[in-house]
Amino acid sequence: MTPNRNTPASREFGIEFGTLSDALEERSYPITDEDLLAAEGDHALEFPNGSETLRGVLGEGAGQTYESPADVREAVLTMVDSRAVGRRFYSDRTPPANGEDRRDDQLSF
């Protein structure tokens, strides 16, 4: 099955939006955070290290107005805590640290 390019991905930067992606697309914009959270606040966002509701990530009504579903996703990406990043401070692209004995036989591309 070929993905529909007109539908937003439900997973972005380690955050699984799940059914919230479709729900955001169906909303009318602009929308205040108060109205958004009243309608969609209980949707769960899944992270590599746990989950949180939309309300838990965005907080309770700070007077924000969202102009589009992309604005909501951007706010989520900005507000999530370290549980959404997976293995913190990890990179396989850095050279060995001083005193670290690591063989770099395999290159990642």
Residues of the domain holding 27: 11-84
- CA atoms within 13 A of residue 108's CA, in its CB half-sphere: 5
Answer yes or no: is pLDDT of 5 > 90: no
Q: How many domains, in total, are found in the chain?
A: 1
Burial of residue 32 (CB within 10 Å: 0-12, 13-18, 19+) is middle
Look over the chain and give the mean of its residue pLDDT values, rounded to a whole number: 77
**pLDDT of 79 above 90:** no
109 falls within a domain: no
State the pLDDT confidence band at 90, using cuts at 50, 70 and 90.
Answer: low
User: Is 66 part of any domain?
Assistant: yes
Distance CA 13, CA 34 (A): 25
Q: Domain for residue 72, yes or no?
A: yes
Strand partners, 32: 65
Q: Is residue 78 part of a domain?
A: yes
Judge whether 79 lies within some domain: yes
Q: Is the pLDDT of residue 42 over 90?
A: yes
86: left (phi over 0), alpha (psi -120 to 50) or beta: left
> What is the DSSP annotation of 58-74?
H-S--S-EESSHHHHHH
Is residue 74 a part of any domain in this protein?
Answer: yes
Q: How far from 83 is each of 15, 51, 90, CA to CA, in Å? A: 10, 8, 14
**Domain-embedded: residue 5:** no
Question: What residues have CB less than 8 Å from 79, skipping those under 6 apart?
Answer: 57, 58, 59
Q: Give the mean pLDDT of 62-68.
A: 90
- What is the pLDDT, as a whole number, of residue 4? 41
